[in-house]
Amino acid sequence: MTERILIVEDEPKIADLLQKYLHNAGYQTHWLSSGIGVSDWVRIEKPDLMLLDLMLPGKDGLEVCKEIRQFSPLPIIMLTARVEEIDRLLGLELGADDYICKPFSPREVVARIKAILRRLQAFAAASNNGGSQTNVSTLLELDRDRLTIKAGERETTLTLVEFELLAALQQHPGRIFGREQLMSRVYSDNRIVSDRTIDSHIKKLRKKLAEIIPQQELIHSVYSVGYKFEA
Ligand code: CA
């Protein structure tokens, strides 16, 4: 099945470039140049993923994202020229799945799309195998101001990166996060870091979690995909 990517972008040059690269990567595309009507289109056409520009005429990307989330879990990658917006986007927890800063390399966009679609497939496969989703969020108390986590009487301090990784993972128990996705959560300036960077942060985070919750492993590796949080 050919996956269909919706591009919502008001700059024709960028939209053309994205379409070209996505076609080469074997995807179908559809382009909308304004925020108006995006929800209706998604409702009727049910694309597999959406690239959504932040600054759009008519209705901005944030509004569109919020609207879509009312009725659909469609994977959304936000495109933004404003690096300083990323923190706000993350803080708002709008439910976008990833963020890419402009100017971007179209290859990177394709890689992110592949990562998200792969993660979804892996997750669907896991669900079909009866994979359970136990909510363990209540097990841990996260204190963002002090960068500490607490379980019962035990407490430990995390680095900012470790804290952000844990916060992202534990918010969606059972959901598989690709490394690229975790990186974009943690590194708001879209710098290039290797997979190993995330792996080493996760390793340290696991060690600290084991200090306060020794009886069970909470962060699980999902082979060739990434990580998930589950009791
Ligand atoms: Ca724009």
Rounded to the nearest whole angstrom, what is the distance from the C-alpha of residue 193 to the centroid of ligand 1? Answer: 27
| Residue 146 CA, ligand 1 centroid: distance in Å | 37
**Residues spanned by CATH 3.40.50.2300 within the chain?**
4-114
> Which chain residues have CB less than 5 Å from ligand 1, an ion?
10, 53, 55
Reply yes or no: is the peptide bond before residue 103 cis, omega within 30 of 0. yes
User: Helix 160-171 to helix 179-186 angle, to the nearest 10 degrees?
Assistant: 130
Question: If you search the block for the tokens 């709008």, which residue do you land on?
Answer: 94
Q: Where does 158-216 show beta strands of DSSP type E? A: 177-178
C-alpha–C-alpha distance, residues 31 and 181, integer Å: 24
Domain 4-114 class? alpha beta
Residue 129 has a pLDDT of: 54
C-alpha 185 to ligand 1 mean position (Å): 22
pLDDT digits (tens, 9 = 90+) for 145-162: 778 899 888 899 887 778
Compute, in angstroms, the gap from residue 6 CA to the centroid of ligand 1.
15
In tens, the pLDDT along 176-230 reads 898 888 887 776 555 556 667 788 889 989 999 999 988 888 999 988 788 999 8
Q: Is 105 exposed, middle or buried (0-12, 13-18, 19+ CB in 10 A)?
A: exposed
What's the token pair of residue 189?
């300036």
Separation of CA 113 and ligand 1 centre (Å): 20
Q: How far is the CA of 52 from the centre of ligand 1 (A)?
A: 9
Q: Per mean pLDDT, which range of 9-13, 15-19, 58-62 is the poorest? A: 58-62
Q: What's the gap in Å between 12 CA and the centre of ligand 1?
A: 10
This prediction's pTM: 0.58
Distance of alpha carbon 153 from alpha carbon 156, whole angstroms: 10
CA–CA gap between residue 161 and residue 163 (Å, rounded): 5
C-alpha 171 – ligand 1 centre gap (Å): 30
Give distance in angstroms: CA of 46 to centre of ligand 1.
Answer: 23
Contacts of 224 (CB under 8 A, 6+ apart): none
- The pLDDT score that the predictor gives to residue 45 is 94
Length of the chain: 231
Q: Is residue 50 predicted with pLDDT exceeding 50?
A: yes
Whole-number pLDDT of residue 15: 97
Indicate the CATH number for domain 131-229.
1.10.10.10
CA of 120 to the centre of ligand 1 (A): 28
Q: What pLDDT is attached to residue 151? A: 87
Over the stretch 129-146, which tens digit does the pLDDT of each residue have? 543 333 344 578 888 777
Ligand 1 centroid to Cα of residue 56, in Å, is 5
Instruction: Give CATH 1.10.10.10 domain extents, the chain.
Output: 131-229
